Amino acid sequence: MARLFGTDGVRGRANGDITAELAVELSVGAAHVLGTLGAFNGSRPRAIVARDPRPSGDFLSAAVCAGLASAGVDVQDAGLLPTPGLAFLVQSTGADLGVMISASHNPHPDNGIKFFARGGTKLPDEVEDAIEARLGEQWERPQGTDVGTITPYEGAIDAYVEHLVGTLDRSLEGLTVVADCANGAASVTGPLALSRAGATVHVIGDRSDGGLINDGVGSTHLGPLQDAVRTHGADIGVAFDGDADRCLAVDANGDIIDGDQIMGILALDLKERGRLHEDTLVVTVMSNLGLKLAMREHGIHLGQTGVGDRYVLEEMNLGGFSIGGEQSGHVIIAEHATTGDGELTALHLLQRMAETGRTSRELADVMTRLPQALINVKNVDKAKATIDRGVADAIEAAERELGETGRVLLRPSGTEPVVRVMVEAPSDETASAIAERLATVVRERVGL
């Protein structure tokens, strides 16, 4: 049976895969497992729950709150808030547990449930597995005053925005930015934080009714942001995803600045300030080889992990590293956040522009991206793809062909029924040709 938890919580079609009943059971299971592990220190636990504006968020957050309260947990409902905002509240208030209702960059019919432990960090795999193992178990239910309470969390948005702006060392006055909020959780907090920091802000994708979340806007659809930046003559555009844990950018001409380039910019900033621990930037296997080559020129080492900001964070915590993230725009700045935070990333990217007087394009040119081809191969056996001898032979042949001029990566998706084939090479033509060849082998060898 497939694991219920993926690389970023439990995710699927709302009221299909992700039901109210499942939300209740997951919440009860989380309370029981964390209690058994001693995470509540023997005291009455407190949880904070938040959501993005998807239509299904109302009933799923209500189910999560109900499940937690039935297990004796006092719940504060923060309502609409970005995922990193929830993580911040859990960390800053000493709450024992956080639950975010969001499917991140997925379309609005999907939804998901992800848990945060005390300190605002995502649960490790083994704890998620323990929660999953306890679904449907019989348990002794508290009664009377032993059941939990459910109350609104007043002032959540202001507390989070104040935190974001407080991380900056200078005003952003003089910079004009277009913010694309993906019709998601950043629709209020994103523009508010940027404007309070001093920037002139134009906003798109700020509908918060939920039915249009990630629909043709946000970090997965940069076209509207590119157009808006050129229309307003802005210095930069920033795009968040549905729950605002990602940030991508476009320069004044509308050209894309991806997560690798953003991480390179911010890592150099920290190094110059003497705040880049062991001169290390932590990335995933999906980061472009060009980032590694560029950072090497500046004396910065790249640590590498599997895909998922949780694994980046684990590596950062092990080594005490200052910054890490993903090409997709998840960036973790350890001094200020416990998880990827798109709004925090945007603010510090603009601060770097303000401090240096350089354009976003000048800053992004710190690295030269190697041409990259990515093919999502659908309707295949993901498990077999990683062990099939024919697939392995094809990958080895491609690696010999590329030598040190590129690389090959085959990775089963953690959230979708897809195998991703990625190739980097000296030219677009070479990268595409090798990727197509490998994708064909995958389909032929492990197709369903």
Q: Token digits for 104?
A: 């991140």
In the chain, the amino acid numbered 260 is D
Q: Is 104 a catalytic site residue? A: yes
Q: Token digits for 168?
A: 């900056």
In the chain, the amino acid numbered 259 is G
- Residues 98, 104: Cα–Cα separation, whole Å: 16
- Residues 123, 118: Cα–Cα separation, whole Å: 10
Q: Token digits for 216?
A: 């043709």
Catalytic pick among 56, 104, 287, 322: 104
Task: Return the sign of the alpha-carbon dihedral for residues 119, 7, 226, 108.
Answer: negative
- Residues 302, 68: Cα–Cα separation, whole Å: 40
- Residues 22, 27: Cα–Cα separation, whole Å: 8
Asked if residue 146 lies in contact with residue 156, where contact means CB atoms within 8 angstroms, the answer is no
Q: How many CA atoms lie within 13 A of 59 on its CB side?
A: 10
Distances (CA, A) of 246 to 238, 239, 329: 10, 8, 5
Q: Token digits for 63?
A: 């189910």
Total residue count of the chain as it appears in this document: 448
Q: What is the largest CA-CA distance in the chain?
A: 69
Asked if residue 328 lies in contact with residue 345, where contact means CB atoms within 8 angstroms, the answer is no
Residues 6+ apart with CB under 8 A from 290: 260, 367, 368, 369, 370
DSSP state of 107: -
Q: Are strands 280-284 and 247-251 parallel, antiparallel or unpaired?
A: unpaired
In the chain, the amino acid numbered 8 is D
Measured at the alpha carbon of residue 396, what is the angle toward residues 385 and 429, in degrees to the nearest 5? 95
Residues 6+ apart with CB under 8 A from 2: none
Asked if residue 349 lies in contact with residue 249, where contact means CB atoms within 8 angstroms, the answer is yes
DSSP annotation string for 366-405: TS-PPPEEEEEEESB-HHHHTT-HHHHHHHHHHHHHHGGG
Q: Which residues are catalytic?
A: 104
